[in-house]
Structure formats: C-alpha cells, structure tokens
Amino acid sequence: MGYTAFVLQYRVPDNKKWALQDAQKAIRCVRGAAAKRGIQANNIGILGFSAGGSLSARASTRYLETLYKAVDSFDSLSARPDFAVLIYPAYLDQGVDHSLTPELKVDEKTPPTFMFVAGDDNFANSSLVMSSALKAKQVSFELHIVPEGGHGFGMRPGNRAAETWPTLCEKWMQQTALKEKASTQTK
C-alpha cells in the first residue's frame, strides 16, 4: 500500500505501564528518525490487534503522560500518534458496567481512529465504548462491525472479517487520516 511499517515488540504481560512506555518510545523514535527514513514525521500512526489494540488506544489517549526518564533527544518529541487503527481491540471496556476503561483519557486531541471488529467477538464492546467516547469528544472515527469473524482473525484468507478490514482501513487512511493531516498543514 506504500506505507512504511515498524513492528514493536513491547513488554508483556502484566505490566501495562511498560508496554505504554515502549509504545511511546517507539513513536518518538520513528518520529525522530523520520527524515533519515524518508517518511513524514507528522504522519506517524499506530495499529494494534486485540491487546495491541488496547495498547494503541492507550498510546492515543495518554500521550501527554511522562512515563519514563528521558534518555536521548527523541524523548522531547511528541508521543501522540497522528492516527490510530484498532483491530478487534480488547480491554477498553473495563470501567463500571463495562464502560470505557478509566485510564483511557479521550479528549479533543485524541487522534482520528479506525476500528474494526466482528459482532461475535467477545471483546466487541471495547470498540463500542471507545466509539462512544470519541463521539462525545467530537473526534473523527470510523467503526466497522461485521456479523462474524470471531477474535484474532488477522489477515487470514477465508475469513470475511480478515478479508474486509484492510481495504476499508486503506480507504479510511486515504480519505480521513491522511487527508485530515494534509488539510491542517495547508492552513
């Protein structure tokens, strides 16, 4: 599709703070090395599946928190992703009565977000509560729910959900995430 991607191996399990530190550092490192890699420093997104979707949501909503001591010049850069892609995210509904997880601090500066989930996924409510929080703060988002596909479908052939989300996400990237970024740069 013409995008540069980096894979983050973050620290798990049982320590969300370390995982978020790893995500923040990764965003800052990619942003800091953007010119060297020939990518746009102001167009850095985050994509995650399942627990990685949860981490991506935390990175998108807790980017102002200082979670580790600065170790290099990259640590002065923004940890806020410019867009987020949450594919069958989990653990976003751990608030009271399955509401939004309290640590997620959605605000008007939360980046545009794309979400995709199957209706028969046990974690489907995570996408619903995140969508509600984004809507309440007037943050641009797109949510797609297909009836079947379960959890963990990835990009496997033969699974409707797996075969559907990449195309929808690519269109969203072109029409929303990257377009919104381009329009704010020309103002």
Return all residues near 46 (Cβ < 8 A) that are at least 6 apart: 23, 27, 56, 59, 60, 81, 83, 84, 85
Between CA 170 and CA 68 the distance in angstroms is 33
* pLDDT of res. 14: 67
Domain ranges across the chain: 16-185
CB-based contact 80:109 (threshold 8 Å): yes
* Residue (of 110, 114, 127) closest to 173 by Cα position: 114
Q: 166: which residues sit within 8 A by CB, 6+ positions away?
A: 155
pLDDT at 186: 44
What's the pLDDT score for residue 181?
54
| pTM for the model | 0.92
Architecture of the domain whose range is 16-185: 3-Layer(aba) Sandwich (3.40)
- Residue 156 CA to residue 137 CA, distance in Å, equals 34
Report residue 167 CA to chain centroid gap: 17
Is the Cα torsion angle 48, 54, 55, 57 positive or negative in sign?
positive
How is 99-120 classified by DSSP, letter by letter? ---TT----TTSPPEEEEEETT
SS3 of 45, please? strand
d(CA 130, CA 141): 10
Stated as kind and residue range, the H or E segment containing 172 is helix 160-172
Q: How many CB atoms lie under 10 A from the CB of residue 7? A: 5
Alpha-carbon distances, residue 163 vs 7, 57, 64, 149 (angstroms): 21, 23, 35, 10
| Nearest-5° Cα angle at 42, 41 to 44 | 75
One pLDDT digit (tens) per residue for the chain, 187 residues: 778 899 999 887 667 789 999 999 999 999 999 999 999 999 999 999 999 999 999 999 999 998 999 999 999 999 999 999 999 999 999 999 999 999 999 999 999 999 999 999 999 999 999 999 999 999 999 999 999 999 999 998 999 999 999 999 999 999 987 765 555 554 4
Report the alpha-carbon distance of residue 30 to residue 39 in Å, rounded: 9
